[in-house]
């Protein structure tokens, strides 16, 4: 990696603040609605995605059948493919350097779940992607591929921490591009 660790940490700190803000809103997630927090810091772009498992696979507990296990594995594989899901401007020359995807409910068999995993609660997938961009000044758009990858996603609520300030946007199937330039 050629970018500075300090700059990555600052990006993550900015992201952390944005995520805390969301958490303090204290609202349970809404099925069909994903959150996306983006921070640009120098050549580092950090993107955090929070998705209700319902939007991913249609259930929010550990898989119980072979078909559910297959759906879970396919959804996790799609989420790990950050470069396909999050398409930053080609001109900015960004490369995905790390993708972290966490969805404990999907990653363990139902039998291994504590207390029998009754499946009456809500559960999310959390993913964090780090991109290193050679030409960050040319970063003008982000096309979000979550709608194409998951048909149950209806809305993506975006918060962006950009060099020129904070920005919010709501994406829908008919409008899946975030404007990042002024
Ligand atoms: Zn739910």
pLDDT in tens, 88-137: 999 999 999 999 999 999 988 766 655 545 545 899 999 999 999 999 99
Domain count, the chain: 1
Ligand 1 centre and the CA of 36: distance in Å?
A: 17
The whole-angstrom separation of Cα 68 and Cα 59 is 9
Ligand 1 centre and the CA of 164: distance in Å?
A: 35
Question: Residue 28: its pLDDT value, please?
Answer: 77
Ligand 1 centre and the CA of 139: distance in Å?
A: 34
- Under the banding of pLDDT at 50, 70 and 90, the label for residue 181 is confident
Question: Residue 17: its pLDDT value, please?
Answer: 44
Ligand 1 centre and the CA of 114: distance in Å?
A: 19
Instruction: Answer yes or no: are the C-beta atoms of 39 and 45 closer than 8 Å.
Output: yes
Considering only residues 21 and 145, tell me which one the structure prediction assigns the higher pLDDT: 145
The pLDDT > 90 percentage for the chain reads 75
The answer on pLDDT for 5 being more than 80 is: no
Look up the pTM and report it.
Answer: 0.81
Q: Quote the mean pLDDT of the chain.
A: 86
Tokens 């470069």, residue?
Answer: 83
Instruction: Answer yes or no: are the C-beta atoms of 97 and 1 closer than 8 Å.
Output: yes
Domain residue limits at 26: 5-179
Ligand 1 centre and the CA of 54: distance in Å?
A: 6
Ligand 1 centre and the CA of 16: distance in Å?
A: 23
Task: Tell me which of 31-40, 66-75, 100-109, 122-131 is least confident.
Answer: 100-109
The answer on pLDDT for 60 being more than 90 is: yes
Closest by CA position to 158, among listed 139, 138, 175:
175
Question: Residue 120: its pLDDT value, please?
Answer: 57
Ligand 1 centre and the CA of 154: distance in Å?
A: 14
Kindly tell me the burial class for residue 68, based on how many C-beta atoms sit within 10 Å of its own C-beta (0-12, 13-18, 19 or more): middle
Question: Residue 108: its pLDDT value, please?
Answer: 82
The whole-angstrom separation of Cα 164 and Cα 50 is 24
């Amino acid at each position: 990696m050629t970018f500075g660790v300090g700059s990555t940490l600052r990006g993550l700190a900015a992201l952390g603040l944005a995520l805390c803000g969301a958490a303090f809103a204290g609202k349970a997630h809404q099925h069909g609605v994903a959150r996306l927090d983006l921070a640009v810091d120098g050549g580092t772009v950090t993107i955090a995605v929070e998705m209700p498992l319902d939007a991913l696979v249609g259930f929010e507990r550990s898989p119980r059948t072979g078909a559910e296990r297959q759906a879970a594995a396919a959804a996790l594989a799609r989420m790990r493919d950050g470069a396909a899901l999050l398409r930053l401007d080609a001109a900015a020359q960004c490369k995905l350097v790390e993708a972290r995807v966490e969805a404990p409910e999907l990653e363990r068999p139902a039998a291994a779940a504590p207390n029998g995993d009754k499946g009456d609660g809500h559960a999310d997938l959390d993913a964090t992607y780090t991109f290193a961009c050679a030409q960050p000044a040319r970063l003008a758009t982000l096309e979000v591929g979550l709608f194409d990858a998951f048909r149950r996603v209806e809305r993506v609520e975006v918060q962006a921490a950009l060099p020129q300030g904070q920005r919010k946007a709501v994406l829908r199937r008919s409008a899946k591009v975030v404007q990042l330039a002024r």
